[in-house]
Amino acid sequence: MNIQNNLTIPIKTLKQAKELIGGYTVTSKMPTISYSISAKDCITGSKLRLIKNTVCSDCYALKGNYIRYAKNIEPVQKRRLESISSPNWVGAMVYIMHHQKQVVNSGLFRWHDSGDIQSLEHLDKIVQIANLTPNIKHWLPTKESNFIQNYKGVIPDNLIIRLSGSFIDGKAPQYKNTSTVVSDKDNATCRSFENNGTCGNCRKCWDSSIKNVSYLNH
């Protein structure tokens, strides 16, 4: 992350906000938009990819369309990674939460459909964004337990952090909200495979009363 900028700038348009953060992901699978950086930059995930039967050993974000359209996707994800260190990043993200139609209409946002938290500073900026958008429920799946456990700030109620399990059919981590990956569809909490791969009316990932959400391995 090498952007050097000591001044914040006024953000007046959605186009400007998107340019400052490197854009976001619009998907038909979820009722809202999401944000991603490259899975190659995952700190813990990069280690887990080398271990058999981990949820990262066959990472969905490193195959399929992510590979097919890599020439277009990777430069964008790199710009997003670099933009995190900009003092304009928080303001631009908040502007998007307040003005992007899918977020406003759904009241939901997903962090990291690809990639993960990079540092305690990165996590703190996400917390700031959640605090500044109290009407939006933020879902943040992560394997970076070290950052979560060492964060000294207060996680707002509208930021649902799900600490992700490492192994397929493995135990959930010790945390208030978690997620796991299972090989048997009967054990999957997420039933998107019954709904053409979409969330439909389900909002369990954003629901803090659901302790663990299990996803079918794909």
DSSP 137-175: EEEEEE--HHHHHH--SPPPTTEEEEEEPSBTT-PPPSS
- Contact between residue 96 and residue 18 where contact means Cβ atoms under 8 Å apart: yes
Segments of the chain with pLDDT less than 70: 1-7, 60-72
- Contact between residue 196 and residue 202 where contact means Cβ atoms under 8 Å apart: no
pTM value? 0.91
Burial code (b: 16+ CB inside 10 Å, e: under 16) for 13-50 equals eeeebeebbbbbbebeebbbbbbbbbbbbbebbeebbe
pLDDT at site 144: 97
pLDDT at site 187: 96
- Contact between residue 143 and residue 163 where contact means Cβ atoms under 8 Å apart: yes
Q: How far is CA 115 from CA 44, 141, 154, 165, 195, in A?
A: 10, 10, 23, 15, 25
pLDDT at site 163: 98
pLDDT at site 199: 96
pLDDT at site 206: 98
pLDDT at site 9: 86
Name the nearest CA neighbour of 217 among 175, 173, 170, 176.
170
Q: Per the structure block, which two tokens stand in for 115?
A: 């990639």
